[in-house]
Amino acid sequence: MSNKRKGSAVIDRTDPKNRRYVGVKETIAYLAYDMSQSYHIGDTDRFAMSIIGVKDAMYEKIVAINGVWDVVNDLFMGVLVERTRTRWGKFKPYLMFLAIPGTVLSIIYWLLPAILHGEGVTALQKAAVYLLLQVIMEGVGTFQNIARKGIMATITPFPYDRSRLITFANLFSGMLGEKVPGYIFDGLHDAFINGKLGGEIHLPGLFMSMGVITTIIAGAGAFWFFCVCRERIQQSIEGPGILDSFRTVVRNKPLLMLTLSETLRGLSVGGRKMDYLTDVLKMKSLNTICGIPSVVINPLSYAWIPWFRRHFSDKVLYLLGTNCMDIAAVPIFFVGIIKTRRGRVYQRRWIMAIALALYEMVFTVFWGVRNVIPTEMYNECMDYCEWKNGYRGEAMISTARELATKISGKISGVASLRIRRFFGYDPSKYGHGIEQTDKVKFMLFTMWTIVPAVTTIASVIPMLFYKVSDEERAQMYNDLQTRRAALAAEAEQDV
The CATH number covering residue 60 comes to 1.20.1250.20
Residue 10 lies in a domain: no
Report which of 362, 224, 352, 234 is spatially closest to residue 298, judged by C-alpha positions: 362
According to the 3-state scheme, what is the secondary structure of 221-268?
HHHHHHHHCCCCCCCCCCCCCHHHHHHHHHHCHHHHHHHHHHHHHHCC
Q: Is the domain of 322 the same as that of 191? A: no
pLDDT of 99 above 70: yes
Q: Is the domain of 194 the same as that of 228? A: yes
Q: Is the domain of 244 the same as that of 228? A: no
Q: Is the domain of 260 the same as that of 144? A: no
Using DSSP, how many helices (H) and how many strands (E) does the chain show? 24, 4
For residue range 104-149, list pLDDT tens digits in order. 999 999 999 999 987 788 889 999 999 999 999 988 988 888 888 8
Query: How many separate domains does the chain show?
Result: 2
Q: Is the domain of 284 the same as that of 195? A: no
Q: Is the domain of 274 the same as that of 142? A: no
Q: Which domain, by its residues, includes 407?
A: 237-294+304-495
170 falls in which pLDDT band (50, 70, 90)? confident
Residue 6 lies in a domain: no
For residue range 438-488, list pLDDT tens digits in order. 999 999 999 999 999 999 999 999 999 988 888 888 888 888 888 877 766
pTM: 0.73
Residue 12 lies in a domain: no
Top-confidence residue, 395 or 390: 390
Eight-state DSSP code of residue 5: E
pLDDT at 396: 64
Q: Is the domain of 446 the same as that of 317? A: yes
Burial 452-481 (b: 16+ CB within 10 A, else e): bbebbeebeebbeebebeeeebeebbeebe
